[in-house]
Chains A and B, each alone.
Chain A
Amino acid sequence: MIPNQELAKEIIAKRVAKELKDGQLVNLGIGLPTLVANYVKEGVNIIFQSENGMVGMGPAPEKGKEDKDITNAGGVPVTIMPYGAFFDSSMSFALIRGGHVDVTVLGALEVDQEGNLANWIIPGKMVPGMGGAMDLVVGAKKVIVAMQHTSKGQPKILKKCRLPLTAKGEVNMIVTELCVLEVTDKGLVLKEIYKDTTIDEIKSLTEADLIIPENVKIMDI
């Protein structure tokens, strides 16, 4: 367990950032996934998409330099890089569904060993809506779930999602503060673990069956 929430998020964001390759078009979800942009190595140029209508999204503006007409999908002022472009929502989702986005990074309420994802509704409790998540998960070439391993100590990586799905069988990789899992035809393969945890601890905090190869690496961040 990593009780320090901020440290947990930093580990996740740093590890996801390592997955992004030079020149890729990437969409980061709101919340934890947004932090990934802070840890992309110098010399690796990632083009960020914001589904409200731009590619080439840049960092937050300096205080006092916000432009009300340039916001991200969370409604927060951002900047655009010199190579960026603005467009309408139809173009934005053509990029997404059409397979032009290389990687999407999203949070999850639940994810399961078949690569199913639930992250848009808790019936009767919380109904934010799916926004662009369903299109992103179906359309992006690689889907990375970036989330804390458990919620209030309860597993979020399940044998089968119980909440209504965002998409069926579309998740490729799960990154938590404890481990990196790859979704395969045979199930979830434990690829890497964080230096301060053990395989037994991960098993105890995961409901899903895990395939554990002989050479599980220590997460390099």
Chain B
Amino acid sequence: MNKVVDIEKIKPLFKNGMTLMIGGFLACGTPEKLIDLLINLNVKDLTIIANDTSFPDKGIGRLIVNGQVKKVIVSHIGTNPETGRLMNEGKLEVELCPQGTLIERIRAGGSGLGGVLTPTGVGTIVEEGKQKIVINGREYLLELPLRADIALIKGSIVDEFGNTFYRGTTRNFNPIIALAADTVIVEAENIVKIGELRPEDAMTPGVLVDYVIKGGE
């Protein structure tokens, strides 16, 4: 029942060419110690699915700057000039997806759904190559599910079983990506014993979590 491990133990999980989902919104709620680990391991050709590419010196932004990323699927890259530069040089593939669509594609991937229908993007370049479906006279785009090999999550209080509580706005993508990856790793600011986190406060149920590591405060 105790999923807390030393960070050394999870090193072998990471391989070149993997697809990772990483929590956080402009680095708020991003597991920085796991980003440190990825940088130390220097795994390459990663595909990263996340809200944004953060700032050059924070969170996912550091992986971009370090040249470890082959492709990103995100809603926003404007706060990290390095993402734009690498994209323009043809060294980084960028798939931009509306934020609300992106989170629902991930939720679909983790919830056994074959896709979602959204009006967002109709009449824009976002609709290119996508199936349009009319329901009750309104046009919707069929957006397909997303999944990853590993999801990296940041929790504020996590019990040894992996039940996770998120403070403030750190929740963002974290509980949704926890559904959509084969392996889920939580970086915990605080680790507590089983029973010390009220079941009502488990925003991510521990059953979804494979490993818990201790992060920084």
Asked if A135 and B98 sit within 8 Å, CB to CB, the answer is yes
A104 to chain B, nearest CB (A): 12
Report, as a range, how many residues of chain A touch the other chain.
Answer: 35 or more
Q: Which residues of B contact A71 (CB under 8 A)?
A: 25-26, 28, 168-169
Asked if B26 and A69 sit within 8 Å, CB to CB, the answer is no
Provide the bound-state CA to CA distance between A51 and B99, in Å. Answer: 9
What does the 1/0 interface line of A125-144 toward B look like (CB < 8 Å)? 00111111111001100000
Q: Which residues of B contact A129 (CB under 8 A)?
A: 52, 74-78, 96
Secondary structure dominating the interface of A: loop
Q: Which residues of A contact B19 (CB under 8 A)?
A: none
Residue of A52, A89, A133 with highest tally of chain B CB at under 10 A: A89
- A148 interface residue, CB < 8 Å from B? no
Asked if B99 and A132 sit within 8 Å, CB to CB, the answer is yes
B8-16, B173-181, B190-198, B207-215: which one contacts chain A?
B173-181
The B110-158 residues at the A interface (CB cut-off 8 A) are: 118-126, 156
Asked if A134 and B169 sit within 8 Å, CB to CB, the answer is no
The B1-40 residues at the A interface (CB cut-off 8 A) are: 25-29
What does the 1/0 interface line of A29-46 toward B look like (CB < 8 Å)? 000000000000000000
Instruction: Select from chain A the residue with minimum beta-carbon distance to B101.
Output: A135
Secondary structure dominating the interface of B: mixed
- A97 interface residue, CB < 8 Å from B? yes
The chain B residues found within 8 Å of chain A, CB to CB, are 25-29, 51-52, 55, 74-79, 84, 87, 94, 96, 98-101, 103-104, 107, 118-126, 156, 166-176, 203
> Which 4 residue pairs spanning A and B have beta carbons closest together?
A128-B78, A168-B123, A93-B100, A75-B26
Asked if B26 and A97 sit within 8 Å, CB to CB, the answer is no
14 pairs from A and B in contact (CB 8 Å cutoff): A69-B29, A71-B28, A75-B26, A75-B28, A88-B176, A89-B51, A89-B171, A90-B107, A93-B103, A97-B119, A128-B78, A129-B75, A139-B119, A166-B124
A25 to chain B, nearest CB (A): 16
Counting residue pairs across A and B whose Cβ atoms lie within 8 Å, the total is 141
- A165 interface residue, CB < 8 Å from B? yes
Asked if A89 and B96 sit within 8 Å, CB to CB, the answer is no
Asked if A90 and B103 sit within 8 Å, CB to CB, the answer is yes
A145 to chain B, nearest CB (A): 16
The chain A residues found within 8 Å of chain B, CB to CB, are 50-54, 67-75, 80, 86-90, 92-93, 96-97, 127-135, 138-139, 164-169
Asked if A130 and B119 sit within 8 Å, CB to CB, the answer is no
Q: Which residues of B contact A97 (CB under 8 A)?
A: 100, 118-120
Asked if A128 and B76 sit within 8 Å, CB to CB, the answer is yes
Asked if B120 and A135 sit within 8 Å, CB to CB, the answer is yes
A72 to chain B, nearest CB (A): 8
Please tell me which one of the listed residues B98, B123, B169 contacts residue A132 in the complex, with CB atoms under 8 A apart. Answer: B98
Please tell me which one of the listed residues A86, A88, A93, A164 contacts residue B99 in the complex, with CB atoms under 8 A apart. Answer: A93
A175 to chain B, nearest CB (A): 23
Please tell me which one of the listed residues A50, A130, A168 contacts residue B76 in the complex, with CB atoms under 8 A apart. Answer: A130
Instruction: Select from chain B the residue with minimum beta-carbon distance to A164.
Output: B125
